[in-house]
Each structure stands twice: as structure tokens, then as C-alpha cells.
Amino acid sequence: MNEQHHLNVIENTNRKQRVAEDQLAFGKEFTDHMFVMDYSTEKGWHHPRITPYEPITLDPAAMIFHYGQTVFEGLKAYRTEDDRILLFRPEKNFQRMNRSSERLSIPLLDEKLVLTYLEELLRIEKEWVPKTAGYSLYIRPFIIATEPNLSLAPSNTYQFYIILSPVGSYYREGIHPVKIFVEEEFTRAVRGGTGMAKTAGNYSAAYIAQQRATDKGYSQVLWLDGVEKKYIEEVGSMNVFFKIGEEVVTPLLNGSILEGITRLSIIELLKDWNVPVVERRVSIEEIFQAHKEGIVEEVFGTGTAAVVSPVGELTWNDEQMIINNGHTGKLSKKLYETLTAIQTGKQQDPYGWTVEIKE
Amino acid sequence: MNEQHHLNVIENTNRKQRVAEDQLAFGKEFTDHMFVMDYSTEKGWHHPRITPYEPITLDPAAMIFHYGQTVFEGLKAYRTEDDRILLFRPEKNFQRMNRSSERLSIPLLDEKLVLTYLEELLRIEKEWVPKTAGYSLYIRPFIIATEPNLSLAPSNTYQFYIILSPVGSYYREGIHPVKIFVEEEFTRAVRGGTGMAKTAGNYSAAYIAQQRATDKGYSQVLWLDGVEKKYIEEVGSMNVFFKIGEEVVTPLLNGSILEGITRLSIIELLKDWNVPVVERRVSIEEIFQAHKEGIVEEVFGTGTAAVVSPVGELTWNDEQMIINNGHTGKLSKKLYETLTAIQTGKQQDPYGWTVEIKE
Ligand SMILES: Cc1ncc(COP(=O)(O)O)c(C=O)c1O
Ligand SMILES: Cc1ncc(COP(=O)(O)O)c(C=O)c1O
């Protein structure tokens, strides 16, 4: 590790008043410190540091404000019952961040080195990892283009940040199925676009559809492919699975779907359990047809926030389908329980997925 | 105008060292002042002010850094030979900004009021409008979501900025045709997406294709529609026109194309000149076919930056077409000269397009 990668720590001597754990909302409280690193074309990534959590100051012409050159990640740190702190497959997040950066013409990070910086930040902030069951410390790494220049070209300077937010349980009243609206008008992503990247523009572009679905009483939208408006892509910002008869089906990674780490883990779990699982194109028509035949047993979304989110109802134009009588399916429940048990150390991790933050 | 819309001016007493006009690059120098206004759900848009040009300070969790909820505009102020300052159809920019905001779930501005703020800013900064022929003051209005919250939902707070940048001529060596590469792999925008909005994410998403085109010796890419990869959408970040025989054709506004103000003005000019002009779907195949028949007379891009940018060569897979022997066409030249003459007050404006900044 050369000089420019030496990690500096500037301690925050002015610690925050903590919000009671049962008052935590998602992504509104942040810890005392954050991680920052700079990039310039001359020096590459340099000057990694842990500093007090503090405002970012940028020129009004900084490229992030104009052309959206930015990527982010989302993962969680969990506290075990015996007070250890675990991450879940964090290397996958930094690998995906680099794939996102490639699409957005952002310089790549050293994935392994960045993980050691995150670990150091978590050692400093370990008291912030909630103790209540179901709670966790949400980790948000992100890169922003900082060059003050209105030219349409990749920035010559960037900053990489990691901020931490203690968060409550996604399921305060226990895991429960949601109602989903199949979106026909708006498109989340398309072949050749940025759907496979975790980049800002994909998310605000989806608000309008989400708002209309909420107004109609649905909790999320199901996105169809941008080309034919026929094939299923994702649910809200989750990947999606269907249990049809004895088989589990999920849309294949086609370039417009985000490669979820929960998705990957679920595929691996199912294979380990000898449950047939296939990644392929799935049309919305096929699902409604299978439902008419009575073989759609379970539908669920997957992602870091909810882990597994069962779908109780799907509405597509005038057609409505109720899944498993609106109850959480057996397999959905088992996947949720297994994954959360591994993530929180309640169950032994035979897959080597968890990474412990050691002193 | 009520209290919360009263414009405050905080003068910059520390004026900048000016760069010589012949040294100006695009979008790197900014003037002494900027305009800022805040939004909150309680107050709506409020506290408009002109302040010294200064850094923006935001919480690291500010939504602009994570979910890309932002829109922008681009227009120019020109100095006439008799030292007046003119804007070109500025009301169209604020109208388009509001249409962009609608797509991005951003609260709308009072278009007329905002134009008066811009006019006041220009009165203060009038010395910054370059005197050299072909030069201008580029105006960049933009809105960013500022709420510190990682939830996936529209922000409850925003800031609207206007910054000003004196810029050189797009054509330092005179107007000249460019080489364009027809992009087959990457997609700029798709039906149901954000292509009709001027929002950050659209622009950085295009860098990868632009970079590959540059590496191959082209100056811009021609974008095809995201659905069929068949119909022509735009050239780089310009609208595009084809003169085929006696008729001028441009892609119709289908929801994925930006509604250019130069495009609109050119359509209106052509109509006024009794040149047949049609907005319709145009496939890339049709253009290459017409070229084989020898009837593609001129191709040009249009936008605020270049006004009219003639295309001398188009490459699509292995096919290459040379347009008008690589020379600027007669109509392209006439359109360029007429529009720039109106914009700079050299020619009388019979259309009411220019707005003078009066003391
Ligand atoms: C668009 C989108 N799809 C899917 C996911 C699920 O990915 P993961 O399981 O890695 O959290 C996420 C969130 O992370 C996402 O933003
Ligand atoms: C994507 C895109 N298309 C077209 C244009 C041309 O629009 P206008 O003529 O209003 O500058 C612009 C630039 O402003 C643009 O960003």
C-alpha cells in the first residue's frame, strides 16, 4: 500500500445525540463519521480518509449537478446476538459498483482495498450498529463527478463516499405480501441503456410511475422490458421470482435488469436445496396464463432492504391475480428466514457469505 | 408579487479576474453572481436571491447525489453590435424546464417570474456578455433535490440555480461538416423513459458511446430509437434534419426526443420560407436508401451550442455515406446565418423571438 492509499482518520469529537432505535426511519439518521476518497486524472484514487460526517461543498458547475455521472451501492451491517458485526457478501457490492462505473465512464476502484476502508469505518462506528432484532446499519457507498465544467464529457475529478445510516426493520408488523401494479406506460430501463448499473438517473425516473401506483393503492410497480413491453424485469427496485408448479423462475440478466446480490444468493440457496430454478425470459402474459391454470404458487421480490418481499396481488390492465390467497408462501418464508438468519449470524453460514468486522 | 417572491441581491465585492475572450473554453469560466431560490413543501418556491457565485453545500445524503432528481436548461445571451443584450426565446426554455420537472416529479416554477429573475441577473452581469463576434454568455438554469434522505421518493426540498458562463464560438474555424457514427449498441432514450426531459442521467449515460465514436474518429453519434433500433432520434445532443430532394424531414417528437428550441425555430423558418418541412418517423434505412438514389442533399444537427451543425459523413455498420461531398449545404448555411443574425440582432427579428435585456 503506497503513501497515497494510507488511510487518515479525523475523529469527530462532537458526537451526535442518538435517536432511539424504535424511532428510526429509513435513511434519515447518519453516524458520526464517513469515508471520503478523491480521484484526479493525474493521481488516480488517492487521499482516503475517515472524517466527521459533514456537508459536501461543490462548485455549482460540478458535473454531478448537470450530467448525472454517479454510481452508488447499498448493503447492510448486522449485529449478531453474541455482539459480533457481520457484512453480507460486501465484495459483490464493490464488484457491482465497478460494473456500474464502467457503464458511466467513471474510473474503477480497487475493490479489495475499498472493502478494507469500509471495515475500518465500521470498526470506528460499531456502536451505531443497532441492537434490536431486525434492525441494521445501512451502508451507502457512492461516487460523484466533481469537476466544475459544463462540457459534455467524463469528469476529470471524482469523490467516493461511504455514509452509514442505522435503519429499522423493513417489516415492523412482520413479513406481509404487497399489491403490485404492472406498469405499461413508463419504462425503467432498456437494452443498451443504464438498467444494469446502480446509477442515480434510473431511480428518480421511476418516481412518476411509483406515485401513480401508490395513488391507485399499490405498493410498487412491476416493470416490463422497454423494447416489447412484454417481458418482466423487476418489481420496484427489487428483482422478482415466480414459483410456478415445482419450478422457480426469475428473469435472466439481459443488460437492463440490476444484478441483485439477494437474487444471486437466492438462486444459490435454491440450487443447494435442490429446488429447480431457472433464469430465463418471462412474459407477463405467461404468468397470467399460468395463474389461470392455477400453478402460480408464489411471487416475491428480492433486495437488500426487504430481503424477500412476497407479492399477494398483481394487476395488469384490467386483469387481477391473487397469489396464494394473499398469504406469504412457504418457500418465500423459508428463503426469508434462512437469508436473514445467515445475515445476522443466527444460523451457521455454510456458504462463506458473511464477513465479520474484527477488532 | 408577495413577500416570499421578493428578489434579494447580495453583491459580490470581490470581482473575478477575467479570462481574455479569445482564451474562453466552453463552460469553465463563471461570472461574479448567480441566482438561487429554495423550495420546501410547506412554502413552495421561495427566497429568490442573487448572490456571489459560490460553492453549494449539501448534506452527503442529499437526494441529488443518490437518485438523480434534477433538471436543467441551456440558453444564451448575445451582445448586439450596438451593445444591446438579447435572449432567444427564453420563455421556451422555462416552459421546457417545467415539462422536464413534471417527468422527474419536481415542483413546477412560475415560468414568467423566473424569467424576470434571469433578466435581473443579466442586468447585474451584463459586462460579462462577450463582445467578440460569435461569442455569448451561456445561461445554465438547474434544479437539484436537496433533502437529506435515502428513501426512494421525491424530495421535499429543492434548490433552483442559474449560473452564467461566457463562452467562445462553437465554430472557431468557421462552420464545417462533421463525421457521425450511427450507434447500434447503446441507447440514449426509450418510449416511456426520460428522453423528452433535460435531466442529468440522460447525458452521462451517453458518454460511453460518444467515447467509442471519438476513438474511431467520429465527432458524434446518431441515436436510434430504443425499441426497434431503426428510427432516427438525435445526433449527439442535437436534433437532426435531412434535406431529401426538395423536402426537409425531421424525426417527430415521440416522447424520447428532446424538443429542441432551435429545432422548433428552424421548422418555423422553413415554413415561412415555403420550404416543405415534415415531422415524421425517419428510419436510418430510408436515409441510406435515399442516399443511394442520390437525393440526400443535406443533413444537419441543431441546438443552442452550434445552432446548425452540418453533417458531412454518416457511418452505419459497414456502410458509409458522404453528404454533399462533405461540404456545408446551401440550406444549412442559410439557416445558420439567419438564426445567428436574428439572435445577435444583426438582422431584424420578424418573429418576436428575441427578448432585450433593458436597464
Ligand atoms: C433496481 C434494483 N433492482 C434490484 C435490487 C436488488 O439488489 P440487491 O439484492 O443487491 O439489494 C436493487 C437494490 O439494491 C435495485 O436498486
Ligand atoms: C438531448 C438534446 N437534444 C437536443 C438539444 C437541442 O435543443 P435546443 O435547440 O433547445 O438547444 C439539446 C440541447 O439543448 C439536447 O440536450
Contact A193 B200 (CB under 8 A): no
Residue B313 in any domain: the answer is yes
Of B124, B141, B167, the one marking the end of a domain is B167
Q: Give the β-pairing of B220-224 and B178-182.
A: parallel
pLDDT in tens, A182-196: 999 999 999 999 999
pLDDT at B338 over 90: yes
**B354 assigned to some structural domain:** no
Q: Does B227 touch chain A (CB under 8 A)?
A: yes
Inter-residue contact B64 to B144 (CB < 8 Å): yes
Q: Does the beta carbon of B108 lie under 8 angstroms from any beta carbon of chain A?
A: no
Contacts of A200 in chain B (CB under 8 A): 64-68, 200-201
Average pLDDT over residues B174-178: 87
Residue A211 has its nearest CB partner, among B105, B161, B199, at B105
Nearest CB to A227; choose among B206, B208, B227: B227
Q: Are residues A115 and A249 in the same domain?
A: no
Cell numbers found for residue A157: 475529478
**A224 and A161 together in one domain:** no
Separation of B198 CA from ligand 2 center, angstroms?
Answer: 8
Query: Smallest Cβ distance to B163: which of A61, A142, A226?
Result: A61
C-alpha cell, B287: 436515409
Read off the CATH number of the domain in which B9 is found: 3.30.470.10
Q: Which residue of A has its CA nearest to B193?
A: A187
- pTM for this structure? 0.97
Give me the torsion for CA of B123, B125, B131, B135, rounded to 10°: -110
Atom of ligand 1 nearest to the CA of A234: 3
pLDDT at B2: 67
Q: Are residues A254 and A310 in the same domain?
A: yes
At residue B115, does pLDDT exceed 90? yes
Given this model, what pLDDT does residue A192 score?
96
Pick from B167, B187, B218: which residue ends a domain?
A: B167
Is A49 a domain residue? yes
Among candidates B149, B208, B210 on the partner chain, residue whose Cβ is nearest the Cβ of A28: B149
Beta-carbon contacts of A4 under 8 Å, excluding residues fewer than 6 positions away, are: A43, A44, A46, A47
A234 lines ligand 1 (CB under 6 A): yes
Chain B residue whose CA is closest to A189: B193
Is A201 found in the same domain as A293? Answer: yes
Residue nearest to atom 2 of ligand 1 (CA): A237
Residues B233 and B260 in one domain: yes
Q: Is the Cβ pair B69, A204 closer than 8 Å?
A: yes
Answer whether residue A355 is part of any domain. Answer: no
Is residue B149 located within the same domain as residue B187?
A: no
Tell me which residue has its CA closest to atom 4 in ligand 2: B238
**Within chain A, which residues score under 70 in pLDDT?**
1-2
- What is the rounded distance in angstroms from the CA atom of residue A88 to the CA atom of residue A77? 7
Hey, of A204, A229, A238, which one would you mutate to test binding to chain B, going by the most B CBs within 10 A of its CB?
A204
Q: Is residue A359 assigned to a domain?
A: no
Confirm or reject contact between B44 and chain A (CB < 8 A): no
A350 in any annotated domain: no
Cα–Cα distance, B107 to B92 (Å, whole number): 18
Range of the domain at A301: 178-343
Shortest alpha-carbon distance between residue B214 and chain A (Å): 11
Strand ranges for chain A from DSSP E: 8-9, 33-40, 44-52, 56-58, 70-72, 75-79, 85-88, 136-145, 157-167, 178-183, 220-224, 232-235, 239-244, 247-251, 277-280, 296-303, 307-316, 319-322, 354-356
For A111-130, the pLDDT digits (tens) are 999 999 999 999 999 999 99
pLDDT of residue A2: 67
Chain B partners of A231 at a C-beta cutoff of 8 Å?
A: none
Ligand 2 and B234: CB distance under 6 A: yes
**CB-based contact, B273 to chain A, within 8 Å:** no
Q: Compare all CA atoms of chain A with the CA of B30 and give the residue at the minimum distance.
A: A61
Q: Do B202 and A207 touch (CB under 8 A)?
A: no
- 3-state SS class at B138: strand
Q: Indicate yes or no: CB of B60 within 8 angstroms of CB of A165.
A: no
CA of A234 to the centre of ligand 1 (A): 9
| Rounded-to-integer distance, Cα A222 and Cα A323, Å | 15
Residue A93's pLDDT is 98
**Residues in contact with A74: Cβ distance below 8 Å, sequence separation at least 6, in sequence order:** A93, A138, A139, A140, A198, A304, A305
Mark whether B231 and B144 lie in a shared domain: no
Nearest chain B Cα to A103, which residue? B208
Q: Does B255 touch chain A (CB under 8 A)?
A: no
Question: Which atom of ligand 1 is the closest one to the Cα of A264?
Answer: 9
> Which residues have a Cβ under 8 Å from the Cβ of A233 and sit 6 or more positions away?
A188, A189, A195, A223, A224, A225, A251, A256, A257
- Residue among B34, B36, B51, B65 with most chain A CBs within 10 A, to mutate: B65
Q: What is the mean pLDDT of residues B120-147?
A: 97
Q: Which atom of ligand 2 is nearest to the CA of B75?
A: 11
For residue B1, pLDDT over 60 is answered with no
Within a domain: residue B71?
yes
Cβ neighbours for B88, distance < 8 A, ≥ 6 positions apart: B75, B76, B78, B261, B342, B343, B353, B354, B355
Residues of chain A neighbouring B161 (CB-CB closer than 8 A): 60
- Whether B94 is in a domain gets the answer yes
- Look at B30 and A60 and tell me if their CB atoms are within 8 Å: yes
Angle at which helix A330-343 crosses helix A261-272, to 10 degrees, equals: 110
Q: What is the residue whose three cell numbers read 423528452?
A: B196
Predicted confidence at residue A263, as pLDDT, reads: 98
Paired strand residues for B161: B36, B142
Judged by CB atoms closer than 8 Å, whether chains meet at A199 and B201 is answered as yes
| A196 in the same domain as A81 | no
The Cα B196–Cα B210 span in angstroms is: 20
**Mean pLDDT (whole number) for B347-353:** 97
A190 closest CB neighbour out of B152, B207, B226: B226
* One domain for residues A135 and A194: no
Q: Measure in Å the smallest separation between the Cα of B327 and chain A Cα atoms.
A: 26
Within this chain, do residues B336 and B205 fall inside the same structural domain, yes or no? yes
Identity of the residue in A165, A185, A203 whose CB atom sits nearest the CB atom of B67: A203
Angle at B325 between CA B320 and CA B328, to 5 degrees: 110
- Please say whether the beta carbons of B129 and B78 come within 8 A: yes
Query: How many domains does the structure of chain B reveal?
Result: 2
Do B100 and B199 meet the contact criterion of CB atoms below 8 Å apart? yes
In A60-99, the residues whose Cβ lies within 8 Å of chain B are: 60-70, 72
* B188 and B291 fall within a common domain: yes
Q: Are A22 and A130 found together in one domain? A: yes
Q: In terms of Cα–Cα distance, which of A150, A152, A229, A155 is closest to A188?
A: A229
For all residues of chain B together, what is the average pLDDT? 96
Q: What is the CATH number of the domain that holds B300?
A: 3.20.10.10
Q: How far apart are CA B300 and CA A291, in angstroms?
A: 52
Phi-psi region of B216 (alpha: psi -120 to 50; beta: other; left: phi over 0): alpha
Distance CA A291, CA A299 (A): 11
Cβ proximity of A177 and A328 under 8 Å: yes
What per-residue confidence (pLDDT) applies to A266?
98
